[in-house]
Structures are given as structure tokens and as C-alpha cells.
Amino acid sequence: MAPGPALAAAAAVAPAAPAGAVKVDPARGGTLYDSGDAARGLPSCLSCHGAAGNSSIVANPKLAGQFASYTHKQLVDFTTPNRQQPIMTTYAKMLTDAEKKDIAAWLATQKQKPGAAKNKDTVELGRKIYRGGIADKGVAACASCHGATANGIPAQYPRLAGQHQDYTVAQLDAFKLGARKNSPQMTTLAQRMSPEEMKAVADYIAGLR
């Protein structure tokens, strides 16, 4: 039987495996995401990130539809000093690299539930920053890397569209303060942005599809 379009899409963006390596298995990743592994004390991912990667908790990111290569990289980064987060660092260290790739590939096949901008007073500022940057501060347009509709570029820049506002702001803060160190470009840009600018662009991004 030929693979369905969703699994084919996951394969297209999954990290490339060297010859002889274990084949990436999105179905196996989905089982681990949904059920965890009680024998290892590993909880299900959905307990924090929601069914099919659609978190309803604004502090936790939506993962559905994210590029497999990006999700895998973040899971690896959580095991290094570049991205320390108590909960995710603990669980990422419990996963094998093959399991990280399986979960990432499965999430790439899931459909994200859309978000929405909430603050009509700042949406225009957010749009200007996202599309044109902040010239007098040397802040590049977000669209120049993440795309006009924030759908990202596979293996380079993550999808941002529809993400929770609170999570996006928290990550910009983490880059700015040096708590997150896995993107020098984002650290530089975040350091040039005010809290109000971060909130405005995060709200705008939440409404993109």
C-alpha cells in the first residue's frame, strides 16, 4: 500500500538518515507522543502539548505541523546547554535519537488548529514589524526568514503561524536574556526589541495561517 500524503509529507521534511540507520517511523512516534513509556517514567507528550500537537495551554507551544527537522533539533538542543528547560530537558534526555526523530516526523503530519490575534490596538504594529522589521533598530522583517504567512522554510526556519502569543513572547524573552542560546540571529534581534514590540508581533503571528 502506498503511503498517505501526510506520511509522505513527513518523510519529505524529516531529518535525513544515513545508510544503515533505523528508518524514521512516524506511527511509532505517534504512539510514544500519545502514551509515553510508563516503564521509563516518560509521560505522554499530549499531557502538555495537547492531542495531535495542538496545545490548549498558552505557555506550551503548538507542535502540530512543525517541520520534523526543526522539532528534532529542538529535542536535541534541550539535552545541551543551549536550551535548558527543566521539564523538556529531563524528558528529552530520556528519548533516544531515533525516538526524537519519530515523534518529530509524526508531529509534522498533524494539522494545527488556527490561532487568532487578540489585540486590535497593536495588530498594525505587529504587522509592520513582521513584514517590514524595525529599521531604526536594525530589526529585520520576520517574514524575511519565516515567510510571508509564517509557514517557515523546511530545515532552516520554523513555522510560527498560529502559535500562542504567550509562548512566542516567552521565547523572544529567553533569546533576549540569554536563557535560550540556540539561535544567534534570534538573540541579536530579540535584544533590539521592546516588550511592547514583542507582544505586538507575537499577537500578529498568532493570527497568521
Separation between Cα atoms, residue 94 and residue 117, nearest integer Å: 36
Tens digit of each residue's pLDDT (9 = 90 or more) over 154-191: 989 999 999 999 999 999 999 999 999 999 999 999 99
Mapping DSSP to helix (H, G, I), strand (E, B) and coil, where does residue 157 land? strand
Tens digit of each residue's pLDDT (9 = 90 or more) over 15-52: 555 556 679 999 999 999 999 999 999 999 999 999 99
pTM (two decimals): 0.89
DSSP conformation letters of 96-138: -HHHHHHHHHHHHTSPPPP-----TTTHHHHHHHHHH-BGGGT
Helix (H) and strand (E) counts for the chain?
11, 0
The mean pLDDT of 113-122, rounded to a whole number, is 97
